[in-house]
Structure 1
Amino acid sequence: MRIAVGDILRYKKVICSENLYEDGCLNFHFLTKMPVVKGLQLEKGINASSAIQSADFGKVRPVILVASSPNKKGSAETPWEDFFDVDNGHIRYFGDNKLPGKDPAMAPGNKALLEAFCLAHSHDPKQRLMTPPILFFQRVTVNGISKGFPKFMGFGVINSVDLVTQWDNDKQRSFTNYAFDFTVLTLELEHERFDFSWINERRRSGFSLQDTNAKAPSSWKSWLQLGSNSLDNLRRRVSKLKVVKAGEQRPQQGTRQYQTLKSVYDFYADKKHNFEALAELIAERVIGQDMGIYRRGWITQGSSDGGADFVGKVVLGSGFSKVELIVLGQAKCEKLDSPTGGNHIARTVARLKRGWLGVYVTTSYFSESVQREVIEDNYPIVLIHGKRIAEELSQLLHESETANTVNELLNEIDAQYASRIRRRRPDEVLASNI
């Protein structure tokens, strides 16, 4: 049985594994049905199948299923926000500890993923061979029903692990947890189809890792042979003209994200210049959150910005083998329901010199014509729309140990605005020790 990234499955509480389809979707329980083998479940965020005896490597965990619920983010049940970018082979997922004072490594899901991480990054190929493949799902709403419809988002391995402190808004307390960065592996040679029989064969007691891996995707086999240094070359990448519809750049009215973005717009309504401090912080997270390559410089002085509202730099490499690129940022606190003006973006692009990068941050969204112009002309500019601002701000709030509301967090950021202002030339950022 083969499935594709983006296929929506049906997962019913009352297990029915007889029909290939249920309610118009491929039946998860039919897909995973095997005689005399305990079924797979998607009841939790991290669903690790029990380790079983293999024929050649002792006890091995066959698979781990990871599921995210975007409709529950920020709730008492899921007081964090996972990030899925499977078209670029990246998922950032928060573990299953929510209790203050508890060792997050002891939470059952975290424990299974930490074990998988150790196996995946072993220098011993035999240890890597025992790594359980991780399958990713995102719960979506179908016909108004938000439960029981997991969307398949690919498979992969853990790339890195961070110990983080998070804030539970509903319970007004902080707790430690793990954040896992996954590399989603490519299915290019399989024509974007994932053979689920590979997973099912791994679930048979006494299975052979060597034999079952014959059914594994080519990227998995390459990774087993080459190790973690090969992950970047094996990650999933979708090449396409990425014109994003307006509806995907704006939070839906009535949602928590919409209220967050509206709070931003209202907060800066009478002091729109101050929005530059928040835009600078959002740009830092978007550009450098995975590798820490972005360095903040300063906010420019009032109307004398010459086409830039903030200046920073991107640092690649280290020591002698290092290069620094100037980043010019434009910040616009605009109405949420009107597209940003293309002339503003053109103004930013016109200021860019060879080797410089641009960032444009708006509470609004970008029209399709503006996006096409940026893509087709290969402008070196990062576009950050209102929905992304809301997502990053929500995550900042979850990470904060001092702010309990969006407005409290905005006040903290705004308090830094005046001290960040400088009257300098953009190229001076390269001489700054930042």
Structure 2
Amino acid sequence: MRIIPSELLSSSDLIIDAVYEGGRSGNAADDPISKVLQGVGNQGGFRAAGRGEDRTLVVLYTSGEDQDWPDTLDLNTGQFVYFGDNKKPGHELHDTQRGGNRILRRTFELLHTSPPMREKIPPFLIFKKYPTPRSSRSVQFKGLAVPGFTGLPSTADLVAVWRTAEGQRFQNYRAVFTVLNASVVARSWLQELSNGNNASLASAPPAWQSWVKTGRAQALASESTTSIRSVDQQRPDSATKADILRVVFEYFEQAPIAFEAFAARIFQMHDPRVIVDTITRGSVDGGRDAVGRYLLGLADDPVYAEFSLEAKCYQPGLDEATINTVGVREVSRLISRIRHRQFGVLVTTSVIARQAYEEVREDRHPIVFLSGKDIADILVANGFSTAAAVRTLLETEFSLAPSS
């Protein structure tokens, strides 16, 4: 990991995944972004340089810790999802202190007007919180981004989503960007942008130049070198998500059969193309807790891949309890139930043991694993971002009361 010390920030290039170190004073002056990029300010998620309607550059900063509005970067595809700055009720969608949502609206208007006006769109520079031993304000540069994503329609790359807080409904933007295949953003271009010359392409990365001229975004896509997640990678990565998983496990602990319908719902939440046909009866399920189809084709000319789902409400190992992992026996049982041209899904509140994980991936069995971390992540991404909200969902839609 390359770390750029604070004394070199004003002269450094921006390098993918490099860490830019903050100060140690304990206040906003420690912020490194404002030293790397002149005129963007030292606070907030949106930090725009320049004046007027069209900015010269925009910083998108994410802490990665906002459970209600989870910004995400898919390293496999280069897709970056960022939420706007109207995060509390009481304000109209575009009535925000830093004007971030107005910037998003203007950016996507320029992208989708006919003809597109890409030369007026500012470069978006993504930074993520990355504390170091020297400074809690240090950040990591995640890339140069442009609005939109290949294959995503113009009706889906900027969407106003509704949320409810304190009994009040309000809207915020969900914006989709593409991180370009630009490993380095040169200091010379950053300086030109700081001087207000956002139309200059001479010093811009080739991927930016190509996008402005053609509209084709060359995404920074990186295939993972490992397909086996460790135990830690399958467990919740925050206290809030651990609380969410605890609620789920404790709710279904004494009624694991009821967990089957919830597991199927989680898989549907993960991908709207999932169709659950049957939640099987526990005594005659044939080794499958749910069966369904995955839509591959068009809505009016569908092609489906069938799947079998197994649900395991196992102890996730929270509060120092001994974790109960899903092992080879359980996974082999699911594999044996999969017929030709089908795939399997295993959903658990716990984790998949390493040996079972390795055997599935090495033998290339078509099995999707959703662990305790995935359950919490999917719930958060679908708006159930607190333990209380999840408990309400369970009590409302997954009643444990015996049917009369």
**What CA deviation, in whole Å up to 9, does each residue of 1:268-323 have, x standing for no partner?**
1110111112211221122x2xxx32223231111322232122222123256531
1:266 CA drift (Å): 0.7
Change over 3 Å in CA distance of 1:407–1:50 after alignment to 2: same
Is the contact made by 1:296 and 1:313 (CA closer than 8 Å) also made in structure 2?
Answer: yes
Residues of 2 paired with 1:285 and 1:347: CA distance? 25
1:7 counterpart residue number: 18
**What CA deviation, in whole Å up to 9, does each residue of 1:124-161 have, x standing for no partner?**
35x1122112122222343497x412222222123201
Scaled by the length of structure 2, what TM-score is found? 0.81
2:140 counterpart residue number: 151
2:111 counterpart residue number: 120
Report 1:231-310 matches (<5 A): 231=217, 234-251=219-236, 255-286=239-270, 288=271, 292-310=272-290
Residues of 2 paired with 1:151 and 1:418: CA distance? 52
Structure 1 vs Structure 2 CA RMSD:
3.0
Change over 3 Å in CA distance of 1:269–1:99 after alignment to 2: closer
Change over 3 Å in CA distance of 1:219–1:258 after alignment to 2: same
Change over 3 Å in CA distance of 1:183–1:244 after alignment to 2: same
1:109 counterpart residue number: 100
Residues of 2 paired with 1:150 and 1:167: CA distance? 31
Residues of 1 paired with 2:330 and 2:42: CA distance? 46
Higher helix share: 1
1:197 CA drift (Å): 3.7
Q: Which amino acid in structure 2 is aligned with residue 405 of structure 1? A: A
Q: 2:358 aligns with which of 362, 367, 372?
A: 372
Residues of 2 paired with 1:99 and 1:6: CA distance? 31
Change over 3 Å in CA distance of 1:319–1:408 after alignment to 2: closer
**What CA deviation, in whole Å up to 9, does each residue of 1:396-415 have, x standing for no partner?**
45489xx9532211112313
Residues of 2 paired with 1:414 and 1:40: CA distance? 48
Is the contact made by 1:86 and 1:153 (CA closer than 8 Å) also made in structure 2?
Answer: no
2:320 counterpart residue number: none
2:41 counterpart residue number: 41
Residues of 1 paired with 2:50 and 2:193: CA distance? 12
List runs of 5+ in structure 2 lacking aligned partners: 1-11, 149-156, 318-322
Q: Which amino acid in structure 2 is aligned with residue 184 of structure 1? A: V
2:8 counterpart residue number: none
1:193 counterpart residue number: 184
List runs of 5+ in structure 1 lacking aligned partners: 18-26, 33-37, 53-58, 420-434
1:67 CA drift (Å): 1.6
Change over 3 Å in CA distance of 1:320–1:176 after alignment to 2: closer
1:393 counterpart residue number: 379
Scaled by the length of structure 1, what TM-score is found? 0.76
1:386 CA drift (Å): 0.7
Residues of 2 paired with 1:113 and 1:271: CA distance? 46
The aligned length equals 373
1:335 counterpart residue number: 315
Change over 3 Å in CA distance of 1:113–1:336 after alignment to 2: same
Report 1:200-219 matches (<5 A): 200-205=191-196, 207=197, 209=199, 212-219=200-207
Deviates more, 1:327-336 or 1:351-360: 351-360
Residues of 1 paired with 2:400 and 2:307: CA distance? 20
Q: In structure 1, the residue corresponding to 2:303 is in which secondary structure?
A: strand
